[in-house]
């Protein structure tokens, strides 16, 4: 039996269901929602950067350029690589989130 979780995008109040086995961005698109910007869908471009403010999740591989290792523990992740483990609340990454990720990026790291 597939376990589904409720995802709430705090910026606009949009909610949708996402199975644990599907990426948050993919589930959003499949249901015709447009709350999170879409880019490469592959963890490399950083366009779908969000901050999880509540709930448990796991991630797939992401570009260190957009999400340095220390930032993921604080909830910063790419929506295309977030797999919910519980109901989640997320918000779109703000400029401060992007700057913090940029400053924490390891020297010479510009890819995965």
With respect to residue 94, please indicate whether it lies within any of the assigned structural domains.
yes
Nearest to 84 by CA among 58, 53, 48: 58
- Whole-number pLDDT of residue 108: 54
Percent of the chain with pLDDT over 70: 93
With respect to residue 61, please indicate whether it lies within any of the assigned structural domains.
yes
With respect to residue 18, please indicate whether it lies within any of the assigned structural domains.
yes
Res 112 pLDDT > 80: no
With respect to residue 21, please indicate whether it lies within any of the assigned structural domains.
yes
- Counting the structural domains of the chain, the total is 1
pLDDT in tens, 8-60: 999 999 999 999 999 999 999 999 999 999 999 999 899 999 999 999 999 99
Query: Confidence band (pLDDT; 50, 70, 90) for 107?
Result: low
Nearest to 71 by CA among 40, 23, 105: 105
Q: Under DSSP, is residue 109 helix (H, G, I), strand (E, B) or coil?
A: coil
Sheet (strand 49-54) strand order = 14-19, 4-9, 88-92, 49-54, 76-78
CATH code of the domain covering residue 14: 3.10.20.30
For 48, the enclosing helix (H) or strand (E) is none
With respect to residue 111, please indicate whether it lies within any of the assigned structural domains.
no
pLDDT in tens, 48-99: 999 999 999 999 999 888 888 778 888 999 999 999 999 999 999 988 888 8
- Whole-number pLDDT of residue 57: 96
Range(s) of the domain holding residue 42? 4-104
For 25, the enclosing helix (H) or strand (E) is helix 24-30
With respect to residue 13, please indicate whether it lies within any of the assigned structural domains.
yes
- Whole-number pLDDT of residue 64: 86
With respect to residue 97, please indicate whether it lies within any of the assigned structural domains.
yes
With respect to residue 110, please indicate whether it lies within any of the assigned structural domains.
no
């Amino acid at each position: 039996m597939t376990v589904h979780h409720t995802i709430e995008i705090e910026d606009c109040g949009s909610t949708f269901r996402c199975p644990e086995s599907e990426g948050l961005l993919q589930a959003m698109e499949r249901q015709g929602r447009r709350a999170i910007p879409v880019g490469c869908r592959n963890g490399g471009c950083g366009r779908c950067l969000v901050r999880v403010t509540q709930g448990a999740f796991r991630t797939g591989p992401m570009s260190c350029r957009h999400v340095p290792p220390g930032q993921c523990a604080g909830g910063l992740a790419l929506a295309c690589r977030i797999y919910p483990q519980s109901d989640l609340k997320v918000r779109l990454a703000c400029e401060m989130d992007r700057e913090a990720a940029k400053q924490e990026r390891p020297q010479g790291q510009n890819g995965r």
